[in-house]
């Protein structure tokens, strides 16, 4: 442990609430898909701040937008009309079949907004007292009380009871169980097409299509949580496009403003009728500074065909990892994912391998102690991915 790092670690322990288990690393600087720690050591970033910095660190054009907007206007409140917010909404809506946007500050808040909208839509538009939200096992929708209830993992809500009512969870992939769970009290089904925090688990397309069809048949809302999968990460702008789905509501956050805190829901014309002036709000939602950065982020993602890039690089990475899996039998149980959202499930506890990778300059996430989770910035070079696979092979062989 270097002196510089030991100093940071000591201050953290003294100053901050003990909510995070942190990696033994203090980062000081970043550029593209590279990071440097407080001792100047260089790393390849295969995590992108947990699917946040999709365009990489300190993207030149985004730095320009931040600098210009910082001198013009930061925040005024949603009491006023704001052009940057409208530019962003227009750009976002150009990517999907939705008609309206609500801006907020995080993924959890985006899902809260989706849940609130679904319930209010059922009562005010459909005239049904239907408030139940159905979610899937191993999902993750956030850490507010409402989204914790939706997430339904006992470990995460330990000590926080009582959680809000009105959430039912069924086994992911079990269509019959979902069919049984839908009742007259159901407002919506909320799911991730690829369960990110669940260990990078893509749900089968056929299942997803059946879930959507069931929602149509029973006249309830179909909500996709695209907080992690959205913004080109999976090889399409939205992951629901892979399956031809048309969710009524989509939540987005993580990479929306490439590292500044921002979330949103995209909503169809019909579902949007569930809100009216005064029914939902948040102070910072869609502020001028954040909207300017997010609008430029969306513009660059579209202009530079980042979805295609993610599909190509993700396909290349998965192929290389499958080849590694065959070369080293018994070491890798499964390679999963979609685009640049990749999980490498190891046959044994992966702590040692993860530590070796970090030591050799590769930052990734270890999920459930056995799955290496890769969420690299979409701008990462192919050579960096190849070098990672080679380093992983060494680490596995040792
Ligand atoms: C990260 C995540 C969230 C929560 O987002 P926060 O910004 O941390 O509140 C919700 N849903 C999914 C799928 C996520 O990956």
| pLDDT-derived band at 225, boundaries 50, 70, 90 | very high
In the chain, where does the domain assigned CATH 3.40.640.10 lie?
Answer: 73-303
C-alpha span between 339 and 163 (Å, rounded): 35
Strand order in the sheet with 42-45: 27-31, 34-37, 42-45, 362-363
| pLDDT-derived band at 154, boundaries 50, 70, 90 | confident
| pLDDT-derived band at 267, boundaries 50, 70, 90 | very high
Residue 55 is predicted with a pLDDT of 98
The number of the ligand 1 atom at minimal distance from the alpha carbon of 253 is 7
C-alpha span between 16 and 11 (Å, rounded): 8
Pick the CATH number of 73-303 from 3.40.190.10, 3.30.559.10, 1.10.10.10, 3.40.640.10: 3.40.640.10
CA distances from 113 to 62, 104, 291 (A): 27, 8, 18
The number of the ligand 1 atom at minimal distance from the alpha carbon of 229 is 13
Tell me: domain 3-58+305-397, CATH 3.40.50.300, correct? no
C-alpha span between 48 and 62 (Å, rounded): 16
Q: Would you say 298 and 378 are in contact if contact means Cβ atoms under 8 Å apart?
A: no
Active site residue 140: yes
Instruction: Say yes or no to pLDDT of 107 above 90.
Output: yes
Q: Would you say 52 and 255 are in contact if contact means Cβ atoms under 8 Å apart?
A: yes
Q: At what angle do helices 351-359 and 382-397 cross, to 10 degrees?
A: 130
Query: Given 37, 45, 138, 225, which residue is catalytic?
Result: 225
Residue 333 is predicted with a pLDDT of 97
Residue 130 is predicted with a pLDDT of 98
In the chain, where does the domain assigned CATH 3.90.1150.10 lie?
Answer: 3-58+305-397
State in Å: Cα 111 to ligand 1 middle.
8
Query: Given 237, 254, 318, 388, which residue is catalytic?
Result: 254
pTM of the model: 0.97
pLDDT, one tens digit per residue, over 25-55 is 999 999 999 999 999 999 999 999 999 999 9
| pLDDT-derived band at 1, boundaries 50, 70, 90 | confident
* H or E element at residue 313: helix 306-327
């Amino acid at each position: 442990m270097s002196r510089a790092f030991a100093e940071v670690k000591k201050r953290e322990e003294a100053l901050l609430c003990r909510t995070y288990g942190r990696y033994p690393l203090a980062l000081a600087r970043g550029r593209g898909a590279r990071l440097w720690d407080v001792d100047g050591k260089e790393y390849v970033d295969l995590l992108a701040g947990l699917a946040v910095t999709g365009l990489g660190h300190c993207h030149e054009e985004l730095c320009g937008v931040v600098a210009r907007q910082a001198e013009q206007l930061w925040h005024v409140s949603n009491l006023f009309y704001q052009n940057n917010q409208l530019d962003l909404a227009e750009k976002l809506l150009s990517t999907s079949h939705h008609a309206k946007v609500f801006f907020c500050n995080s993924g959890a808040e985006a899902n809260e907004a989706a849940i609130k909208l679904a319930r209010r839509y059922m009562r005010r538009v459909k005239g049904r007292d239907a408030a139940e939200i159905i979610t899937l096992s191993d999902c993750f929708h956030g850490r507010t009380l409402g989204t914790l209830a939706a997430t339904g993992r006992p470990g995460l809500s330990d000590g926080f009871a009582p959680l809000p009512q009105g959430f039912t969870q069924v086994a992911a992939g079990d269509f019959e169980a979902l069919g049984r769970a839908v009742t007259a009290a159901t407002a919506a089904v909320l799911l991730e097409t690829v369960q990110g925090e669940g260990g990078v688990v893509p749900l089968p397309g056929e299942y997803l299509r059946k879930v959507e069809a069931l929602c149509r048949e029973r006249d309830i809302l179909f909500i996709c949580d695209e907080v992690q999968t959205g913004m080109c990460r999976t090889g399409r702008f939205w992951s629901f496009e892979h399956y031809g789905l048309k969710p009524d509501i989509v939540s987005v956050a993580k990479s929306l403003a490439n590292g500044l805190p921002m979330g949103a829901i995209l909503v169809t014309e019909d579902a949007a009728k569930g809100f009216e002036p005064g029914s939902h709000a948040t102070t910072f939602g869609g502020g001028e500074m954040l909207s300017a950065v997010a609008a430029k982020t969306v513009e660059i993602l579209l202009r530079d065909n980042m979805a295609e890039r993610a599909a190509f690089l993700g396909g290349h990475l998965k192929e290389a990892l499958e080849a590694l899996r065959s070369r080293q039998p018994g070491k890798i149980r499964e390679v999963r994912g979609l685009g640049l959202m990749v999980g490498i499930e190891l046959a044994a506890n992966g702590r040692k391998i993860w530590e070796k990778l970090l030591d050799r300059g590769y930052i990734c996430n270890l999920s459930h102690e056995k799955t290496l989770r890769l969420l690299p910035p979409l701008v990462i070079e192919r050579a960096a991915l190849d070098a990672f696979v080679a380093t992983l092979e060494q680490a596995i062989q040792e």
